[in-house]
Amino acid sequence: MKIKLLYRLAIFVMVSCAGSCVYHELPRHVDCTKSDIALSVVDQSDASNCKSHDGQITVAGSGGQPPYKYSLGDDTYQTSSTFDNLGAGYYFIMVKDFNECMSEVSVSVVAKGSTLVGNVTATPDTQCFGDTGSISVTPIGGTPPYTVKLDDGAFDTATNFTGVSSGPHNLIIKDSQDCESLIHVHVAGNTGVSYSKEIFPIFAANCTTSGCHNSGMPGMDWTKLSDVKMHSDDIRLRSLEKSMPPSGSPTLSAEQIQLIACWVDDGANNN
pLDDT attached to residue 30:
65
- C-alpha closest to that of 129 among 269, 232, 256, 243: 256
Phi, psi of 33 (to 5 degrees): -65, -20
Q: What's the chain's average pLDDT?
A: 83
pLDDT attached to residue 102:
86
196: which DSSP letter? I
Q: What is the CATH number of the domain that holds 105?
A: 2.60.40.1080
pLDDT attached to residue 17:
34
Q: Is the pLDDT of residue 221 over 90?
A: no
Q: Give CA–CA dist 33/70, Å, rounded.
A: 19
Q: Give CA–CA dist 112/110, Å, rounded.
A: 6
Domain span including residue 133: 117-187
pLDDT digits (tens, 9 = 90+) for 105-125: 888 888 888 888 889 999 999
- Cis check for the bond before 27: say yes or no (omega within 30 of 0): yes
34: which DSSP letter? G
Domain end marker among 165, 187, 209: 187
In-domain check, residue 242: yes
Q: Is the pLDDT of residue 158 over 90?
A: yes
Q: Is the pLDDT of residue 170 over 80?
A: yes
Mean pLDDT, residues 205-221:
79
Q: In what order do the strands lie in the sheet with 147-150?
A: 147-150, 167-174, 180-187
In-domain check, residue 68: yes
Whether residue 252 sits in one domain with residue 198: yes
236: which DSSP letter? H
C-alpha triplet 251, 262, 106: angle, nearest 5°: 100
Domain end marker among 51, 75, 109: 109
pLDDT attached to residue 247:
66
Q: Is the pLDDT of residue 24 over 50?
A: no
pLDDT digits (tens, 9 = 90+) for 129-156: 999 999 999 999 999 999 999 998 999 9
Whether residue 122 sits in one domain with residue 177: yes
Mean pLDDT, residues 205-230:
82
Whether residue 258 sits in one domain with residue 243: yes
Domains: count for the chain: 3
Whether residue 100 sits in one domain with residue 49: yes
pLDDT digits (tens, 9 = 90+) for 125-136: 999 999 999 999
